[in-house]
Amino acid sequence: MSSGAGRAPLTTRGRAGWVLAAVTGAVYIYLYAPLLTLFLASLTPAPAADFEAGYVGAWYVKALSNTALLTAIQTSARVALATTVIALTLGTLAALALGKHRFRGQTWLEGLFYLPIVVPEAVVGFASVALLAQAGLPLGFWSTLLAHVAFCASYVTFIVRARLVGFDERLFEAALDLGATPTAAFWRVTLPWLTPALVGSALLCFALSLDDYVITSFVAGDGVTTFPVWLYSKMKTGVSPEINVATSLLLILSAALAALSQIVQRLQRLPRWGRLSVSVACMGLTIAAISPSPQGAGEPTLHLYIWSNYTSEKLLRDFETRYRCRVVVETYDSNETLLAKLQTGVARYDLIAPSDYLVGILAREGLLRPLDRSRLTNWQNLDPAFLNPPCDPENRYVVPYTFVVTGLGYRRDKASEPVESWDALWDARYRGRIVMLDDIRECFGAALRRRGASLNSRDEREIAQAAEDLLLQKPLVKAYDSARFEQLLLNGEVWLAQGFNGQIAKAARQNPNIAFVVPKEGGTRAVDYLAIPANAAQPALAERFMDYILEPQASAEIVQVTGYGTPNRAARAFLPPDWAGNEYVFPPESLLRRCAAIEDVGAILPRYDYYWTIIKSK
């Protein structure tokens, strides 16, 4: 009996142990399953269309030859490293000052250090831009670094200050009594005690800076595209295996940093020369991070601000070679982002790619520079149908770059019948198999056109009816997604997609069951242009780039990279037949006549916003 009584507690502990182990395992799976999935996706063999033969790891080869991606990662690493060292220094000094001294109002002062941690990043970003604009400082590497240091230093102060609370000052005083100088006592007593907090703070600062998108999107200027900014803008035009590769590389880097932190935490066991060597190495890396790159020194630099996946690495390198210059590319994810950057007055770009409706706004606000048409020797290659648009009736400011049509993509092998109307998006047979663009004007445009109203309706009743239709449709919609709609079509998650012709055309090349149609009620048509900001530093070089893009071979290359049609009528002769004759890329005129451009609807726009908020919140 005694032995049986003794076994019962062991059985209970055994069961509890298994339960705890199962819960722990589930937590680890929850944490690491997405990361493992991402890494495995990066090892997907590339199709023959991309390489001579598909093989595991092929996307790593392609990603590591992507100059824009590598530059973005390098920029992020430079900013993160410099931010870490500077924020660690300032935050630690502040924590030591607060820990060593007691004074009236100290609690309120410490509270000010915590404030940047709780304030929304959007507010911090906007405030940073406003301050830089008032000071007349340009946006760029230094503005990004200053903004990152501002919010990271608060975390360091918070963590180091918390560690100091448990420090026994008598140890420091004992070191002084034994003859140590205050400096020696700090290095041998205080610093080893703070090491875990310093290592944790450094890792946190590096991760926060490397990962930040919101604040960076406000304060980054010409030539400063960090990895999160690159990634977000890239996803606006679809998720590619290169994105999986890039994020996997950062995952590997993070794992290496975690391992390095375990080594760094043993610094106090190193001899003095070892600690000195590490300190000198950190200083050297910081100086290297904040020093300007010598590449291209003395050469003129063209700062191009453009949509992601909207130009070609081959063309950029050819232009650099021909004109002995450098091209620095920064990407954005929306026309609103571009407008906000230019309105600050501190962003300096030489060339931008606004959509048609934004061109008129920029021109009215005096943010565009008139073109010197004498430098555009290839102007005659443009299709007259794209000249003198409503947004720029005299072609004073812009050169047509690409044109985009919004319509319906669908799966022929899944749809019960050919799709011809916007009505299909309200067909209950496709419940859960529909994706809509995450765009207020495009969604309302589909609902308005479906009822025969204008795409740019200013009629309150028509707008209210469209909103009601979109609310009725919402239970049928799987997602509102402007970035991955073609991927959802490809993998069969959806059968109908409101989307842009270029991305659907590229998806159709991978799966012939995917089709694109302009609904019989009509779609939307947009033209993206090249324009020169009023404060451009290299307007002549920007016009050379415009003229270069107007060469037929260059325009043909842009078509194959973006999937969108070109206003350059001479370019079709340089396109492969499967591109030149692709009606998804170049819809016939009979279909284009059904399409209309999205226009500024003026004072009625807040009503669209009001109804859209209701639709998205329900």
Q: Quick one: DSSP state of residue 403?
A: E
The sign of the CA dihedral 494, 498, 503, 508 is positive
User: DSSP secondary-structure letter at 345?
Assistant: S
Q: Which stretch of 109-123, 240-254, 589-603 has the lowest confidence by average pLDDT?
A: 240-254
- The C-alpha atoms of residue 15 and residue 13 are separated, in whole angstroms, by 5
CB 548 within 8 A of CB 388: no
Q: Which residues pair with 533 in a beta bridge?
A: 368
Question: Is the confidence at residue 398, as pLDDT, over 90?
Answer: yes
Q: Shortest CA distance to 331 belongs to which of 297, 304, 354?
A: 304
Q: How far out from the chain centre does Cα 537 lie? A: 25
- 193-240: per-residue pLDDT in tens? 888 888 888 888 988 898 888 888 888 876 678 888 877 776 665 556
Q: Does position 53 have pLDDT exceeding 50, yes or no?
A: no
Contacts of 529 by beta carbon, 8 Å cutoff, 6+ apart: 353, 354, 355, 356, 359, 392, 398, 399, 400, 401
The pLDDT tens digits of the residues spanning 11-24 come to 445 677 788 888 88
Q: What is the mean pLDDT of residues 179-184?
A: 84
Region for residue 330 given its phi and psi (left: phi exceeds 0; alpha: psi -120 to 50; beta: otherwise)? beta
Identify the pLDDT of residue 2.
46
Provide the residue type at 278 as one letter. Answer: V
- CB-based contact 436:496 (threshold 8 Å): no
In whole angstroms, give the CA distance from residue 540 to residue 51: 38
**Packing angle, helices 67-100 and 141-165, rounded to 10:** 40
Total length of the chain: 618
Q: What pLDDT sits at residue 426?
A: 96
Strands 514-517 and 326-332: unpaired
The whole-angstrom separation of Cα 233 and Cα 510 is: 23
With contact defined as beta carbons under 8 Å apart, do 536 and 514 qualify?
no
DSSP sequence for 568-582: BTTGGGGS-HHHHT-
If residue 111 lies in a helix (H) or strand (E), which one and from where to where?
helix 106-118
* pLDDT tens for each residue of 400-411: 999 999 999 999
- Domains annotated for the chain, with CATH where assigned, are 71-285 (1.10.3720.10)
pTM greater than 0.85:
no
DSSP letter string, 552-616 = HHHHHHHHHHH--B-SBTTGGGGS-HHHHT-TTTS--HHHHTT-B-----GGGHHHHHHHHHHHH
Express each pLDDT in 68-108 by its tens digit.
778 888 888 889 989 999 999 999 999 888 877 777 777 77
pLDDT value of position 204: 86
**pLDDT tens across 459-513, in order?**
999 999 999 999 999 999 999 988 789 889 988 999 999 999 999 998 999 899 9
Structure tokens at 396: 């004073």
Helix segments in 346-385, DSSP class H: 356-364
Q: Which two tokens stand for residue 414?
A: 């899944």
Digit-coded pLDDT (tens) for 429-443: 999 999 999 888 999
Q: How far apart are the first and last CA of the chain?
A: 64
Report whether pLDDT(51) > 50.
Answer: no
* Exposure on the CB side of residue 444, measured as CA atoms within 13 A: 28
pLDDT at 3: 47
List Cα–Cα distances, 440 to 181, 299, 445, 473, 604, in angstroms.
Answer: 67, 43, 8, 15, 13
pLDDT of 328: 85
Average pLDDT across the chain, whole number: 83
| Beta pairing partners, 408 | 498, 517
More confident residue, 82 or 335: 82
pLDDT of residue 450: 95
SS3 300: coil
Task: Give pLDDT tens digits for 254-292.
Answer: 777 666 666 655 555 555 555 555 555 555 655 555 555
Q: 448-456 contacts: CB < 8 A, separation 24 or more?
A: 449/422, 449/519, 449/521, 449/522, 449/523, 450/421, 450/422, 450/423, 450/426, 450/521, 452/521, 454/596, 455/522, 455/524, 455/596, 455/598, 456/596, 456/598, 456/599, 456/601
Q: How many CB atoms lie within 10 A of CB 490?
A: 20
Q: What pLDDT score does 278 carry? A: 56
Please state the three-class secondary structure of 439-503 as a single string. CHHHHHHHHHHHCCCCCCCCCHHHHHHHHHHHHHHHHHEEEECCCCHHHHHHCCCCCEEEEEHHH
pLDDT value of position 591 = 87
d(CA 492, CA 479): 14
Alpha-carbon distance of 421 to 551, in angstroms, equals 38
- Those residues whose C-beta lies under 8 Å from the C-beta of residue 420, and which sit 6 or more positions away, are 517, 519, 520
CA gap 407, 366 in Å, rounded? 34
Question: φ and ψ at 43, to 5 degrees?
Answer: -95, 5
| Whether the Cβ atoms of residue 512 and residue 522 lie closer than 8 Å to each other | no
Q: What percentage of the chain has pLDDT greater than the value 90?
A: 38
The neighbouring-strand residues paired with 524 are 406, 596
